[in-house]
Structure formats: structure tokens, C-alpha cells
Structure 1
Amino acid sequence: MMKRLLPISSLLFGVALLLAGNGLFGTLLGVRSAAEGWSGRTIGLMMSAYFAGFLLGTFVNPRIITRVGHIRAFAIFAALASSAALLQGLLVHPLAWLLLRLLTGICLVGLYMVVESWLNAQAEPSTRGQVFAGYMAVNFGGLAAGQTLLALYPVQGFELFGVAAMLLSLSLVPVALTSVAQPTVTQAPHLSLRALYTLAPVGIAGAVGSGLALSAFWGMGPAAAQQLGFQGSGVAAFMSAAILGGALLQLPIGRWSDRGGDRRRVLFLLTLASAATALGLFLLPLERSLLLLGGMFLFGGLAFAIYPVSIALTNDRLRPEDLLRGAGSLLLLHGAGAVLGPFLAGLLMEWLGPTALMLHFALMLGLLATYAAWRLWISPQGPEAHTPFQPMVRTTPAALELIAPTTEDTTPEAGPAA
């Protein structure tokens, strides 16, 4: 596998630096904003701006990349993102941070899009799964590594903003040195929501629900940890526990979902267990405890699998020619849910305190579990699982072709609505 990844190793190294910087930056902003005493709704709105920018950039950035080329576009996005990091260290104000988070979201999705389109163009049909697996490993590893950097300097200072900006800028170096040919960027096609809902309503609900829950984790998790009494390395441990859980448990959960049967039952049990774990963390007095970190590991392992299971479930019900369009639509739905998640969680935290983040998880995923149970009740028979599960985090349209199953791996007809 390492031999096959060698030609794109410079791209993966650039991604590792990028994700380490972005992982540190997002956590730093959550902790610093909580330390500044900003209200939950203010923090939530500011964090939602990042996901709004991420969603907006999905539509805007392909034109920029096509116009100036991959390396120049990467340089533009990296320069803007690192400048935004430095400006947020200089301008500590909610409105300034909201606008800069919007810009950062646009830039980050552009950076991911450049790298993922390169990976997609370079991956041979026989190695696409391995390339995507390597890319996902770099994703989880980079995000977890970024959390550990929070302990280097006090969050009240400027130093950590500089470290984040440096990593975002350095990600340009291996990308600029790559000899990989630049591909053509294409915008992922989309399946109409009405058609998608007719075929896979539970898949749609899973994409939206996971967006609502996990964006709140990324956006409000650091602030909640800081308000629960964690400092520096403690906040990093809180975030890393969930990230590592998501990295380690996705594959066994995915294999379970691949064993045949209706994946709606897997999604129902998965969301029910995630909601129950979050509710337990909300009800039990676990502040600054190892039990809380263990609970976050379990929650991350369960919740991070909801989105990829939803994609596999939807693919079970689509015709081969509709797989890429269906994945593109689910990506947008997940992004729409992600825009709302931090703000809703911030409101709950303002009313009920930092542990209300767990209540937000429980409510969003509990509603998803209830909907899945209702669909199983009114339509008990559904297609058996036949599409291979792929561990993943939310990606961009450029990577969808890497994970879209081939027609040989799928049945020729769409399954019934379920």
C-alpha cells in the first residue's frame, strides 16, 4: 500500500499539515471564545459561520480552481486561511471572528477540494479504496495531532494563532513541490431531493442528523470542555478522545453493517446507542473525569459512523448510474445540517450550561433514531446491504468519485422506498 501511495505522498503530507493546523485552530477558537466570556449563542453563531463558508465554498471554489489552476488556487486559499488565523489573534471580537470564520470555511473547502481532486485523478481503479483509506487515516491523524498542540502555549496569548497560521501556510510547500499532473475540477452532480427521499428517506435523515450533531462537536466541543474545567491538554484530550473513537470504531461498525440485512436497522441501533451515550454524559456528574473522556471515545466511535452508514444505506437503494449524484446530494444535506448545529447547541449551552452540548447530541440523534424506527414500522422490508461501507469524515464533492461503488459492486436496480 505504501508503494502505491508514494506518488501522492507529498499531497498527503500537505493534508496532514493542513488538518493539524485546522484542528488546532478550531479548538483554539472555541476555548478562547469561552475564556472571553462570550455567550453560547454568540459562540455558536460564530462557529456556524465556518460551516456556512464550507457549504458556500463547495459551489464557488471550483470556478476559482478551474480559472487559476490547482497550485495557484491552493496558494490563494492557504494564504487567506493563514491570514484569517492571524487576524483572529489580533481582532478578538465576535463580529470579526464570525466574518473570518466564514472566510476560513470557504478557504478550507477549497484546499480540500484541490487535494481530493488530485487524489481522485491519480488513483488507479485497483487502488482507489486504498488511496481513500490512506487519505482518511491522514484526516483523523492530522485532526487528532492538532488537538495536542493546544498545550504548547496559553490560549489567551497570540502564539497559538501563529502556530495554526504557520501550519496552514506550510501545507502549501509539499503541494507546490508535487510533480503530480493537475486534473480538471468537476462539480459533483446531484440527485433531486424528492427522488432521493422517495428512494432513501432514512439515508437523508442520517445525513442531516449527523451534520447537526457532529458540527456541534467540532464547533462547541472545545468551549464546553473549557467550561467544564479542562485546561490546555485536558481540552485536547476531550476532543481527541472522540476523534480517536471515530477513527477506531468506524471500520468494525461498517463491517457489521455489511453483513447483510436492512441497514436501516443498523442506523437505528447506532443512533439510539449514540443518543443514549450522550444522554448519560449529560445526566451523570462527570466533569474533568476519565469517565467523561471514555464516554466521549464511545460517543465519537458511534456518532462518526452515522454519516458513512447513511451513505452506504442510500447506495443500497440507488441505481449504479445514480450513486455519485446521490452521494453529492447527501453531502449537501449533511452540510446544511452542519450550518445549524453549533448555533442550536450554543443556545442550549447558554440556557443549561456546558453539559447541554451532550443534551444537544442526545436530542438530535434521538430524533433520528425515532424517525428510523418509524420508517422500519411502516415499511418493514427493505433491500439487503450490498454496497461496501467506507470509513470517512465529511469530505468534498471532489472525493466522491473515490468512494462511489462501481457498477460491478452493486445491484442493477434501485431498491424500494424504505
Structure 2
Amino acid sequence: MFVHLAPLAALLGGVALLLLGSGLLTTLLAVRGGIEGYGSPFMGLLGSLFFAGFLIGTRVAPALIRRVGHVRAFAFFTSAVACSVLLHEMWVSPWVWAPVRLITGIAMVGLYAIVESWLNSQAAPAQRARVFATYMGVNLGALALAQQLLHVGDAATHTLFVLAALLVCAAVMPVAATRLSQPQIDNAAAPALRSLYRKAPIAFDAAFASGLAMGAFWGLGAVWADRSGLGTSGVAAFMSATIVGGALFQWPLGLLSDRHDRGRVITLVAFAAALLALLPMFALPFGADATATAGLLYGGFAFALYPMAMARLIDRLDPHEVLAGSSGLLLVHGIGAALGPLAAGLAMAALGPDALPMWFALTQGVLALLTSSLLRRVPAQIALQTRFLPMVRTTSTAFELAGTARPDTETPTTETR
């Protein structure tokens, strides 16, 4: 086991360093943007541009990877992210920050594609589930830890930007030193979204609503915490706690969705997330610790919706349709993530910072109503459900690593729909 997993440590170490740097940058921009007096619409636009870069990157990054290879492409995209980090500090201007944030999104999805295709090619079949779980744990753990790096320096100075750039640059070293053979990047077929909606409307709606909410969280969560008066330590605590909640709650909620009709569980989780979205707003008068605890509870339910949507999609597809379908659902989620920050930012400009938790409550509340309605009309066709896999949104290659096709020995549900 250790012979096969040890070489992958270099890739996972590179991912951890990369996400420490990029995760710090995301929250740092929110705090620095407040210092510079940037309004919520612009901060929301930055979040939307980042996820728009994700969508563009899924089309343009594979061509570069195929042309120059994984190691050189990793160095290229990492350099692009590091340069982008420093450009935010060198030219503090909306005209610079906006295009640079788009470039960062393109480069980040390229890096995800490189690492995930590498892990996918190197992981032995018996180890894929373990490697996938470790990879997702590294993702969420690094992003949660990155928030605490705000304590290292003052957001008004260059220190934190330099630290973020150093971490991103350091990510190259373990990857460049690896002796793993380089896999091939396949051409992905364009997903047919209309067909996807017909086959799995609940999964489609849940992925889109999750994108609207999670895109706004990543783009504006720290902005809300900062403008609600929590201070730098409070911002770090709120963001870390929400991410940690998103990691911890996926397992029990996923187990619940394995044992019961997943569509009904998605409805209940969306309804709970809509209610809990307002909790941080009401916890503010009780201090940063109470707000962070409220964020942990909200994140626990909100982060679970996308992997539940993916599992629901797989429930309703034939095995040969799973990879194309997962790519389509990833695209749906990405569209929502690109739209969410801008819409929520405009709402915050009109209604104040508390419009962000209201946005969360609105998107997830509407999802609960939609799925409840769809459950009355979706035909009962499935006798078995696939096993839930905790995950965050990365690229479609991650689903190959996870082994997303539904086997014959899955957990039976107590109901069928």
C-alpha cells in the first residue's frame, strides 16, 4: 500500500501548498477590498470572474497540458497564479484586480485538472476510494487552514500577499521533483444540459442552487464577516468554521441520503440550510465565536448539497453516461457559481451586508420548494442508490478517480423514486 501511495504524497503536498496560498488570497482580497473602499458589487464581480475563469479554463487548459506535459503545465499555471497574487498588491485598482481574478480562475482549474488526472492515472483500483477521500480532505483542510494565515500580517500591507505568492510558488517544488509518469488528457465531450435535466431534474436544480450559494460564499463570505464588524480574527474564524462544518457534516448527511430516498433528503437538507443561513446574522450580537459556530452549522448543510446532487445524478444514469453527466453537472454548478457572487453583491449594495445570508436562504429555500414539487412528478424507477462521496467542486477528472459508476452492490434505499 505504502509503495503506491508514497509517490502521490508529492502531488497532495503540492495541492495543499497551492490551496493554502489561493485560499488565503480569496479571503485577503475581501479584507483588503474593504480597506480600499471597494463596494459589494465589485467584490461580487471578482468572485464571479474567478468562477467564470473556471468555466473558461475547463476548455482551454487541457490543450496546453497535452502540448507541454503535466510538469511544465503545472509550472506555467502556478506561475500565473503567483504573478496574479502579486499584481493585486502592486496595482491596487479595480481595473487590474478584475482581469487578474479571471486569469486566476483559469489557472486554478488547469492546476486541478493536472493533479486530478495524475492521481487518477497513478491510483491503483483498490486504492482509488482512499486516494479520493484523502484528496478531498486535503482540499478542505488546506482551505480551512488558509483562513488562519490572516493572523500572520496586516491586510493593509504587502506581507500577506507575499506569503500567498510564496505558498503558491512552493507548490511547484514537490510536483517538479516527482518521477511519476505523465498521463494523457482526453478530449471531453460537450454535455447536453437539456438531456441531463430531463433525466435528473432534482440533481440539476440542486447543483445550480448550490453554485449560486457557494459561489457567493467563496466570493463574499469574508466580505460579509468583515463589514459586519467581526475584525480580521473574526473573519478568519467564520470562514474556517464554515469550511470545517462543510467537511464534517458531509459524512453523516451522506449516510442519511444513502439509506433513504435521496431526493427527499436533498429537500430536507436544502430546507435546513435555508433556515441556518440566517443564523450567523442573528449570532453577530453575541460575538465572533457565536458567529463562527453558526457558520459551522450552515456550512455543514450547504456544502453537502453539491455531492448529494452528484450522487442523485449517478442514481439516474446508466454507467456509460456517468462521466459525461458528471461533467455536465459540474458545468451547471459552475454557471451558478459565476452568477451567484455578482447577484449577491448587488443585493448587498442595495440592502446592506445581511443581504448575503438572505441570498443563501433564498437560493436554498427555493431549491427546497422545487425539489419538493419535483418529487411528486418524478417517476419511481430506481431500486438502488449509489454510495455518497464527500467532495468539493473541482474538475470532472475527480469523478473518474472516485469511480462514480454505480456498481451492482450498492446500498438499497427504503423507498424508490
> TM-score, with normalisation over the residues of structure 2?
0.95
CA shift at 1:211, angstroms? Answer: 0.6
Whole-angstrom distance in 2 between the partners of 1:272 and 1:290:
25
Instruction: Say if 1:58 and 1:397, in contact at 8 Å, map to a contact too.
Output: no
Q: Which runs of 4+ in 1 moved over 4 A?
A: 1-4
Write the letter of the residue equivalent to 1:76. F
State the Cα distance separating 1:90 from its structure 2 match: 1.0
Deviation of residue 407 (structure 1)? Answer: 5.2
Give the match for residue 387 of structure 1: 386
* Partner residue, 1:106: 106
- 8 Å CA contact 1:61, 1:110 repeated in 2: yes
- Partners of 2:290 and 2:382 in 1: CA distance: 39
Letter in 1 for 2:326: A
Counterpart AA for 1:15: V
TM superposition shift of 1:405 = 2.7
CA-to-aligned-CA distance 1:37-82 (integer Å, 9 cap, x gap):
1111111112211111111001100000000110000111111110
Distance 1:2 1:254, change over 3 A: farther
Q: State the shift of 1:400 in Å.
A: 2.1
Alignment of 1:400-411 (within 5 A): 400-406=399-405, 408-409=407-408
Distance 1:249 1:3, change over 3 A: farther
Letter in 2 for 1:230: L
One-letter code of the match for 2:387?
P
The one-letter code matched in structure 1 to 2:209 is G
> Which deviates more, 161-170 or 351-360?
351-360
In structure 1, what is the equivalent of residue 413 of structure 2?
none
How many angstroms does 1:143 deviate by?
A: 0.6
Question: Is the Cα contact below 8 Å between 1:69 and 1:182 reproduced in 2?
Answer: yes
* Amino acid across the alignment from 1:396: T
SS in 2 for 1:185: coil
Asked if the contact 1:316/1:384 (under 8 Å) is kept, the reply is no
Corresponding position of 1:414: none
Q: CA RMSD in A?
A: 1.7
Identity of aligned residues (%): 47
Asked if structure 2 preserves the Cα contact closer than 8 Å seen for 1:51 and 1:335, the reply is yes
The aligned length equals 412
Matches within 5 A, 1:327-346: 327-346=326-345
Q: Provide Cα deviations, 1:190-218, integer angstroms capped at 9, x if missing partner.
A: 54112211110010001111011011111
- Contact 1:116–1:399 at 8 Å: present in 2 too? yes
1:155-210: CA deviation from partner (whole Å, max 9, x where unpaired): 01111111111111110000000111100012433541122111100100011110
Please name the residue that 2:262 is paired with: 263
Whether 2:145 is the aligned partner of 1:148: answer: no
Pairs within 5 Å for 1:337-416:
337-379=336-378, 381=380, 383-406=382-405, 408-409=407-408
Partner of 1:37: 37
Query: What residue in structure 2 maps to residue 8 of structure 1?
Result: 8
The Cα of 1:390 is off from its aligned counterpart by 0.5
Q: For residue 295 of structure 1, what is the aligned residue in structure 2?
A: 294
Structure 1 position 377, deviation (Å): 2.5
Alignment of 1:6-405 (within 5 A): 6-259=6-259, 261-282=260-281, 285-286=284-285, 288-379=287-378, 381=380, 383-405=382-404
- What is the one-letter code of the residue matched to 1:234? G
State the AA in 1 paired with 2:151: A
User: Is contact 1:49-1:102 (8 Å) kept?
Assistant: yes
- CA spacing shift, 1:277–1:380, aligned 2, 3 Å: farther
1:232 shift after superposition: 2.1
Cα distance 1:384–1:61, how it changes in 2: closer, same or farther (>3 A)? Answer: same
Amino acid at match of 1:370: L
CA distance in 2, matches of 1:407, 1:189: 21
Contact residue 313 and residue 385 of structure 1 kept, 8 A:
no
After alignment, is 45-54 or 381-390 more displaced?
A: 381-390
Residues 128 and 151 of structure 1: CA distance in aligned 2, closer, same or farther (over 3 Å): same
Per-residue deviation, 1:228: 1.1
Tell me, in whole angstroms, the C-alpha distance in 1 between the residues paired with 2:381 and 2:278. Answer: 30
SS of 2:241's partner is helix
Determine the C-alpha separation between the residues in 2 that align with 1:20 and 1:409.
39
